[in-house]
Amino acid sequence: MPAGRPESSPRLGRRTQNPTACASQGAHINEEQKLRAEQGFTSFKSKFLLLDVLREDRFGGVYLYQQKEKGTLLIVKKKVRGSSGNEAMSLLASVTHPNIVSTLGIFRNDDFFVLIQEYMSGGTLQDKPAFHPTWQQTLQIAKQLCEAVVFAHNNRVVHGHLRPTNVLFDPDRSAKVTDFWLQDDTSDV
């Protein structure tokens, strides 16, 4: 977790629903992190506000942005070109499924491959024991995950690292799978 991060992203998401509360967002991010997050995004800064650095490693980073005009929260995953997972990112951008986190856009430059996805404010499966799902809810979550993985496999995309932190929830507690082969196998971030 980046140093100085003031709170978890679900709470950050609720707080940023109010556009006036957004003015001070991102103040905890140091200049070096801002430069890394915005590197290669020349026109991006005018339309989007960097709110948080969710993860960074030698392969890239995951950032929380807010669209300035509409206030929509977005996840931006930036990977170094040539690292594993870029092909899966491209394939996944061309398919949609209700239980796979939606890809809103992708772009490449000489240095980076960037994936823009919907923000899931309901936390991860790892966080879910806190809401104590009933056995019916647990079966529904399992069904949603199976449908997402089968759909991905039918579209030649393998997850490769399915785990509780890669299962996200929307506000209605519908499960969605993320990070299809986007991480290096040796990484445990």
What pLDDT sits at residue 27?
65
Rounded to 5 degrees, what are φ and ψ at 61? Answer: -155, 165
Whether the pLDDT of residue 17 is over 50: the answer is: no
pLDDT, the chain, mean: 77
CATH of 9-177, one of 3.30.160.270, 3.40.50.300, 1.10.510.10, 3.40.50.1010: 1.10.510.10
3-state DSSP call for residue 60?
Answer: strand
DSSP state of 111: S
pLDDT of 176 above 90:
yes
Q: What are the extents of the domains in the chain?
A: 9-177
pLDDT of residue 18: 43
pLDDT for the residue numbered 129:
63
pLDDT on residue 1: 41
**What is the tens place of the pLDDT at every residue in 38-90?**
776 667 778 888 899 888 888 888 999 999 999 999 999 888 876 555 566 66
Q: Please count the CA atoms within 13 angstroms of the CA of 8 that sit on its side-chain side.
A: 8
**Positive/negative CA dihedral, 31, 119, 8, 56:** negative
Q: In angstroms, how far is the first alpha carbon of the chain from the final one?
A: 9
Residue 102 has pLDDT above 70, yes or no: yes
23, pLDDT greater than 70? no
Q: Using an 8 Å Cβ cutoff, are 143 and 133 in contact?
A: no
- What pLDDT sits at residue 86? 58
Q: Which residues pair with 39 in a beta bridge?
A: none
Q: Does 98 have pLDDT greater than 90?
A: yes
Task: Check residue 15 and give its pLDDT.
Answer: 41
